[in-house]
Amino acid sequence: MTTVTSPVAGRSIGLASVPDPVFSGAMVGPGTAIDPVREPAEAVSPVDGVIVSLHPHAFVVVDDEGHGVLTHLGIDTVQLNGEGFELLVNKGDTVTRGQSIVRWNPAAVEETGKSPICPIVALEATAESLSELRDDGDVKPGDSLFVWK
């Protein structure tokens, strides 16, 4: 079992509330989403593992059980071409839960007309494999979002 924790501070809103059909329809996988606080912050790793994919706006950490967890910082933020994001680790790095991965500013993302909402997705999982799914309420980095069995 893997406990996936929040990479950012904000309010958990659930994937169905994400303003993107790929995420809201759980086409990438099940999980939840955070509407982040609008201040400069560092997105942290939601699990212990290895960074297998790293972009300014998104990263994937795979844990010892082979579970890949995607953290996507905002919606359509790939179109910002890294503007306003600072990578703090490298692809292939081993990271620990709570370790800073990307420095960003959700308010600046919102000012570009993009949504700063952050989907946190269990890649290649089924909805049935997740429990204790948090889809409402305030969260801070490190708070449990779901358990992946």
All structural domains of the chain, each given as residue ranges with its CATH number in brackets, are 2-131 (2.70.70.10)
- What is the distance, to the nearest Å, from the Cα of residue 127 to the centroid of all Cα atoms in its chain? 17
What value does the CA radius of gyration of the chain take, rounded to a whole number of Å? 14
pTM of the model: 0.97
Round the average pLDDT of the chain to a whole number and report it. 97
Q: What is the pLDDT of residues 71-123, one digit of tens each?
A: 999 999 999 999 999 999 999 999 999 999 999 999 999 999 999 999 999 99
Catalytic residue IDs:
72
Q: Give the full edge-to-edge strand order of the sheet including 41-44.
A: 41-44, 100-104, 86-87
Helices (H), 19-134: 21-24, 106-111
Cα separations (Å) of 104 from 3, 23, 25, 43, 134? 24, 21, 26, 7, 23
Average pLDDT rounded to a whole number, residues 26-40: 97
> Band of the pLDDT at 44, cuts 50, 70, 90?
very high
> Band of the pLDDT at 62, cuts 50, 70, 90?
very high
Average pLDDT rounded to a whole number, residues 15-21: 95
Cα separations (Å) of 16 from 2, 25, 34, 131? 22, 7, 11, 16
DSSP 13: -
* Angstrom distance (rounded) from CA 120 to CA 131: 14
pLDDT at 117: 98
Residue percentage of the chain with pLDDT more than 70: 100
